[in-house]
Structure 1
């Protein structure tokens, strides 16, 4: 019997990597890519567990799943930090006011 590559195993790995990179975009892109990678990894793992001798590429799926989990955690931290900063400083108006205060206090 010929062994086949697990469906989307490389794509799961790519989405796992993108979920880590996406945490820099206020966390939103990382969360999206992380969730997609986890859902695809779950389906691929179920397929592999049904008949392990038939498929290759399981290491890509496991690695992509781990990267997606790390990316989700980092993205959640980034998103929560962004929301807290928005609440504390009140958006752009608060940031402009804070910049004016810094310039006035430190003679800029």
Structure 2
């Protein structure tokens, strides 16, 4: 029997890449794309493990899953950083540069 490409192997890879890129957009797209990449990769991985001799493209599935996990972790770290900024400096300081400089100087003890 001829080997065929795993369904959604390329999609899993693309979603994994988008999850890493999406973490730069305030974190939310990275989390969404990462979750989709992990779900698609898990389904394709299960299909591959049932009949590994019938499918190609398992490397794309593994890479997509790994990048999805990395994208989710980076996105969560970025969201936590934004929450820390708002809690530490306040929403007003993030919108006003002079107020932000004052609060940063207060933090440094000057």
Query: TM-score per shorter chain, which class?
Result: 0.7 to 0.9
Aligned residues: 100
The within-5 A match list for 1:1-108 is 1-91=1-91, 93-95=92-94, 96=96, 97-99=99-101, 101=102
* TM-score normalised by length of structure 2: 0.85
Cα shift at 1:2:
1.6
Cα shift at 1:28:
0.7
Provide the rounded CA distance (Å) in 1 between the counterparts of 2:56 and 2:7.
Answer: 10
Runs of 4+ that moved beyond 6 A: none
* TM-score normalised by length of structure 1: 0.86
Unmatched 5+ stretches in structure 2: 104-110
Q: Could you give the per-residue CA deviations for residues 66-95 of structure 1, whole angstroms, max 9, x where no partner exists?
A: 11111111111111101111122221x222
Q: Which position in structure 1 is the counterpart of 2:107? A: none
Provide the rounded CA distance (Å) in 2 between the counterparts of 1:45 and 1:98.
Answer: 48
Provide the rounded CA distance (Å) in 1 between the counterparts of 2:80 and 2:32.
Answer: 15
